[in-house]
Amino acid sequence: MSLTISVSPCGEPGEYIAILYSRFNEEARKKVESERRDISAALQMLSEPVIMMRDRRIVSVNAATLLMFGFDSEDELVGQPVTVLMPTDQALAHDSYLDRYEQTGEKRIIGSPRGARRPCPARTRPCWPG
């Protein structure tokens, strides 16, 4: 990978904008894509449900999630708010939980068992790509 920084004047004298570009060579891009496919395949094989969300919407689920919640296809869930998998009382409070966590970093729910629409213990974990 190569990094390039571009610095340009912006606005008032003495103000600049800097943009950092990263460039992967084709071999590195293929390796990253292969590793991504391997991780995705491993998540699909887990017997426990895995639900990935971004901006409070479902972006991916594994086969165990579909089975547990009675869906036929990942397409039924992708793009939906993650709250569709929660009982109404938890769904109504969910955004405030996330707001508080994002503002304070305080974990009140994350990492603790909780219920979902189906009787099952659910644990939440923050996960950010490195």
Report the Cα–Cα distance between both ends of the chain, in Å, rounded.
15
Distance CA 62, CA 74 (A): 8
55-104 confidence digits (pLDDT tens): 888 988 999 999 988 999 999 999 999 888 888 887 787 778 778 877 88
- Residue 80 counted as domain residue: no
How many structural domains compose the chain? 1
Instruction: Give pTM, 2 decimals.
Output: 0.59
Say if 31 falls within a structural domain: yes
Closest by CA position to 62, among listed 75, 76, 53, 51:
51
Residue 14 lies in a domain: yes
What is the per-residue pLDDT across 111-123, written as a single tens digit (0 to 9) for each?
655 555 444 445 5
Residue 44: partners with Cβ closer than 8 Å, 6 or more residues away: 62, 63
Whether residue 101 lies inside any domain: the answer is: no
Residue 22 clears pLDDT 80, i.e. is over it: no
Q: Are strands 57-61 and 16-23 parallel, antiparallel or unpaired?
A: unpaired
9 forms beta bridges with 16
Is residue 85 situated within a structural domain?
A: no
Confidence check: pLDDT of 39 > 70: yes
128 within some domain? no
Q: Could you tell me the residue range of the domain that residue 31 belongs to?
A: 1-45
Q: Is 8 domain-assigned?
A: yes
The Cα–Cα gap between 109 and 49 comes to 18
19 domain residue, yes or no: yes
